[in-house]
């Protein structure tokens, strides 16, 4: 709700700066729980915590001179939308209507909300990376395996079928807490490098230097070879490859990073979210199928605000330390605000991206008229898109309701 409240402030502040009268600033929908009028704006909180809005006076211009009102249900919708928008404009304050703003100011106002979410996400990611650190796989032995598996795949990582081969890590004397510093004469810097060295060893006996209780200790380990999953084929079956195996899992711990990592991390998260939004219809269909059949719910399926709440709760149950719980919540909120940023840029009304597209159309039309020496055209007739707006709104309402039900009956769980 705080993210949504700040999103709406991102719209309201530039709108007021450009002289638009803002009649309402509301967090939530439905019946008003509390409100107070300050200046010319009513600020309040509503009962249903699923969004918010600012009412900018004069979002739709009057009908162009000479244009007749259309007939049928769509014509009535357009006429009613125009009438409602016009009624909000006080006599003598036509210059304060949103539709009279220059196109670039309209774009600034409409982008103010999503950009606010992006700023929140950047702050959250910055706190996470610099203040708490990100979970990284280290070269410290976390746990020694109990057996050598027949094969290592995504499905058998937690419950492998064991062979009778002795575990090389146990035979070599590796213990939980050992920090691997050298492997086969090569200085070890990270887990990716170490796992690659192990995979390429085969069954050669190699020296391993570990740090234990502040002192270096040299051991000798003889890996065995197992089949490890490296990919999936078109049918979803694991693609296996022979690889060296010692038999220990690395420890994960938080490693703080510099400020220079923040923007690239936000950029990567934004790009990944954009790719998900590009396939949103397919993902929504998959979510519905998984939630209402016996198929397992995918961990990367689309979720509602209820699903986000479940994830927060699971994280709090999973972690005992307060710092880990706070870091988990900050990470979830950062991801949520990136999603709000990207989703609101979808170029369809009533989303912010739809208003931006209309402003760009208006600017382009005026530029072309100027080049051709024609009279300056009026504001873009946004009211004509009212039927589309209703259809998109109903679709969003339906999808949102379905996702909430899906997250109630079959939520994504991390525990």
Residue found under tokens 């909430």: 404
CB 243 within 8 A of CB 225: yes
The region that residue 248 occupies, defined by phi over 0 for left and psi between -120 and 50 for alpha, beta otherwise, is beta
Residue 211 is a catalytic residue: no
Nearest in space to 23 (alpha carbons), one of 103, 95, 97, 101: 97
Task: Measure Cα distances from 218 to 168, 211, 221, 371 in Å.
Answer: 15, 9, 10, 79
Q: Which of 8, 40, 87, 241 is catalytic?
A: 8
- Rounded Cα–Cα distance for residues 58 and 382 (Å): 11
CB atoms within 10 A of CB 299: 8
Q: What is the 3-state secondary structure (H, E, C) of the chain?
A: CHHHHHHHHHHHHHHHHCCCCEEEEEEEEEEEEEEEEECCEEEEEEEEEEEEEEEECCCCCCCCCCCCCCCHHHHHHHHHHHHHHHHHCCCCCHHHCHHHCCHHHHHHHHHHHHHHHHHHHHHHHHHHHHHHCEEEEEEEEEEECCCCECEECCCCCCCCCECCCCCHHHHHCCCCCCEEEEECCEECCCHHHHHHHHHCCCCCCEEEEEEECCEEEEEEECCEEEEEEEEECCCCCEEEEEEEECCEEEEEEEECCCHHHHHHHHHHHHHHHHHHHHCHHHHHHHHHHHHCCCCCCCCCCCCCHHHHHHHHHHHHHHCCCHHHHHHHHHHHHHHHHHHHHHHHCCCCCCCHHHHHHHHHHHHHHHHHHHHCCCCCCCCCCHHHHHHHHHHHHHHHHHHHHHHHHHHHHCCCCCC
Instruction: Say how far apart CA 138 and CA 176 lie, in whole Å.
Output: 12
Residues with active-site annotation:
8
């Amino acid at each position: 709700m705080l993210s949504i409240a700040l999103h709406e402030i991102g719209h309201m502040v530039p709108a007021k700066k450009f002289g638009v009268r803002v009649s309402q600033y509301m967090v939530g929908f439905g019946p008003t729980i509390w409100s107070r009028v300050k200046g010319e704006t009513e600020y309040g909180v509503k009962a249903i915590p699923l969004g918010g809005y600012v009412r900018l006076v004069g979002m739709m211009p009057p009908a162009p001179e000479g244009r007749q009102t259309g007939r049928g249900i769509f014509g009535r919708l357009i006429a009613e939308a125009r009438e409602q928008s016009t009624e909000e404009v006080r006599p003598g304050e036509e210059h304060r209507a949103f539709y009279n703003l220059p196109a670039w100011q309209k774009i600034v106002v409409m982008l103010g909300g999503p950009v606010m979410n992006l700023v929140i996400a950047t702050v959250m990611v910055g706190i996470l990376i610099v203040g708490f650190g990100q979970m990284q796989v280290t070269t410290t032995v976390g746990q020694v395996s109990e057996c050598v598996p027949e094969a290592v795949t995504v499905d058998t990582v937690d419950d492998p079928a064991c062979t009778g081969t002795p575990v090389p890590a146990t035979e070599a004397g590796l213990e939980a807490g050992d920090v691997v510093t050298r492997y086969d004469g090569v200085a070890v810097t990270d887990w990716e490098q170490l796992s690659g060295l192990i995979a390429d060893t085969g069954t050669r006996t190699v020296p391993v230097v570990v740090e234990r209780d502040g002192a270096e200790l040299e051991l000798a380990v003889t890996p065995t070879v197992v089949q490890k999953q490296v990919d999936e084929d078109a049918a979803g079956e694991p693609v296996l490859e022979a690889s060296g195996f010692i038999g220990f899992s690395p420890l994960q711990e938080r490693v703080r990073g510099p400020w220079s990592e923040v923007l690239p991390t936000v950029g990567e998260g934004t790009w990944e979210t954009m790719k998900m939004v590009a396939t949103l219809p397919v993902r929504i269909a998959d979510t519905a199928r998984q939630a209402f059949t016996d198929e397992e719910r995918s961990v990367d399926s689309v979720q509602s605000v209820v699903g986000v709440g479940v994830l927060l709760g699971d994280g709090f149950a999973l972690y005992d330390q307060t710092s880990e719980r706070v870091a988990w919540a900050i990470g979830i909120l950062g991801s949520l605000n990136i999603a709000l940023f990207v989703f609101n840029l979808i170029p369809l009304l009533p989303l912010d991206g739809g208003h931006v597209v209309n402003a760009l159309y208006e600017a382009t039309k005026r530029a072309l008229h100027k080049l051709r020496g024609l009279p300056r055209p009026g504001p873009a007739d946004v009211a004509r898109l009212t039927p589309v707006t209703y259809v998109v709104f109903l679709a969003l309402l339906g999808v949102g309701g379905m996702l909430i039900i899906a997250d109630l009956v079959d939520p994504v769980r991390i525990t």
